[in-house]
Amino acid sequence: MIGTILQTSFRSLRRDRGAFVMSFILPIGFFTIFGFVFGSMRGSSTPRVSVLVVDEDHSDASKSLVRGLLREPSLDAMTHPRATKENPAPADYTAATAEAAVRSGDAPAALIIPAGFGAHPIAFGPQSAQQAKFRILHDSSDPVAAQVVAGMLEKTVMISMPATMAAVGSQYFDREIGGLTPKQRQQMDQGLAALRKRQDQNDAQSAGTGPSAASPAADSGGMIAVDIQDVVGEKKKSPMISYYAAGVGVMFLLFTASAAGGTLLDESESGALDRVLSARVTMTTLLVGKLTYSALLAFAQLTIMFLWAALVFHLDFFTHIPGFLVMTAITSFAVASFGMLLASVTRTRAQLGAFSTLIILTMSALGGSMFPKFLMSDAMLRVGYFTFNSWAISGYQKIFWRDEPISSLGPEIAVLVGSGVVLFVVARWFARKWEYV
């Protein structure tokens, strides 16, 4: 008896291709995509923290430190913006331009090497009043970046400036122990000269060969003074709320849009679609109607999500309504078009379920809906640009986190509206299958 039950169950499963795909092919497909994306994360693909470096000291020591930071593998350090056709030789960052770049989201942190650093680079024991403080200008929506930059700064100071370390150590020794004999002083100076020469050779080599392998970080115990300042969202309570409201919201919007598009399949199966199309309704009119319904549903969902965030997590919603309306309108449109496309390329509800689950979960993982973008590698971030999630999150962050004006949403509007239009046109093309036999 149980054998018969098993037999009929397995036969039914085998013949329901949608369920079959969901059970076996879908997990394998999803795993394979993630395997390709995360499995290749080695070496240069490891997530690196972007940091803008400003040298206000221009001493040998500061230049040496900058070179050390540039070759630090865990940092993506830049002293100036990337060259473009319009600006092939961009000027180095200043404290002001670096801060502006952090505010606009170009990098999560900027490191300012202060004037006077060369004169008093490090301190053993309590920091002296003469010692200039490094400043890290930080976007607190990336809680990792500032800590990584501070840690890497101490490490770089230790390993990239051996001559400076030795000289300051010698001064410390002189001050605390009573000084060296003339012969010891002479030997010390010779040693320091050799050390400086080797340091210069290392710098010259690294300039030609790129980043060196990471050395173990020294336990410096506060030899440098660092002041970390939030320059974005310093008055905001919850840096990641707008991120997750958008990220989670868009992921579920995609599922909702897929289900809304699926009503076309239901109506096709029930015969209602034939009846509607035999009345005075064209396929284009029908699809536009379904798209509008789906977009309005998505708009309502996102609105409720953000209102909830305002109510429970104190998101500053009511001072950002115009930007919210723009982002929500374009996101809803793009997502609704995507739902129409999914429904029009599939033939049954089961196919739609399997296909949309695979695509939506993949898009959400790569686009930042499942975990924050600052944990992603550069390669993943680049792939994320092909997802709605990434562009929607970017736009909402501009509005709610960076307080940027609506005019800054140009790229998001272009991408989401453009892709929405393209997807709808493709969906209409596939929908010809419902028009005539």
Partner 1 sequence: MLGSLLSLASRMSGDPTNPVPLRVDAVAKRFGAVTAVDGVSFEIAAGACFGLLGPNGAGKSTLIRSIVGRVRLDSGSISIFAHPVGSSAARADLGWVPQELAVYPLLTCRENLQAFGKYQGLRGKVLGDAIAWCLEWAALADRAGSPVKTLSGGMKRRLNMAAGLIHRPRLVLLDEPTVGVDPQSRNRIFEMVEALRSDGTTIIYTTHYMEEAERLCDWIAIIDHGQIIAQGTKEALVAQSFGSRSSVTMHVGATRVDLAAWAAARGGTAQDSVVLCSVEKPAEIAGLLEAASGDGLDVLDVTLQRPNLESVFLHLTGKELRA
Q: Which residues bind partner 1 (CB under 8 A)?
A: 270-272, 274-281, 436-437
Distances (CA, A) of 189 to 155, 181, 186, 193: 25, 12, 5, 6
Q: Which residue has the tokens 């953000």?
A: 306
Q: How far is the CB of 279 from partner 1 (least distance, A)?
A: 4
Q: How far is the CB of 262 from partner 1 (least distance, A)?
A: 14
Two tokens, residue 349: 């509800």
Q: How far is the CB of 290 from partner 1 (least distance, A)?
A: 13
Q: How far is the CB of 332 from partner 1 (least distance, A)?
A: 23
Find out whether 180 and 174 touch, Cβ atoms under 8 Å: yes
Beta bridge partners, 53, equal 111
Name the residue nearer to partner 1 (CB basis): 8 or 282. 282
Name the residue nearer to partner 1 (CB basis): 209 or 278. 278
Measured N-to-C along each axis, helices 283-313 and 321-345 cross at an angle, to the nearest 10 degrees, of: 140
Q: What's the chain's length in residues?
A: 437
Name the residue nearer to partner 1 (CB basis): 233 or 261. 261
Concatenate the DSSP letters of all residues of 110-137 into one string: EEEE-TTTTTS---SSSPPTTSPPEEEE
Neighbours of 7 (CB within 10 A): 10
Neighbours of 295 (CB within 10 A): 26
Q: How far is the CB of 434 from partner 1 (least distance, A)?
A: 9
HEC-encoded secondary structure of 36-97? HHHHCCCHHHCCCEEEEEEECCCCHHHHHHHHHHHCCCCEEEECCCCCCCCCCCCCCCCHHH
Name the residue nearer to partner 1 (CB basis): 53 or 265. 265
Name the residue nearer to partner 1 (CB basis): 318 or 436. 436
Name the residue nearer to partner 1 (CB basis): 272 or 375. 272
Q: How far is the CB of 433 from partner 1 (least distance, A)?
A: 12
Name the residue nearer to partner 1 (CB basis): 96 or 279. 279
Q: How far is the CB of 273 from partner 1 (least distance, A)?
A: 8
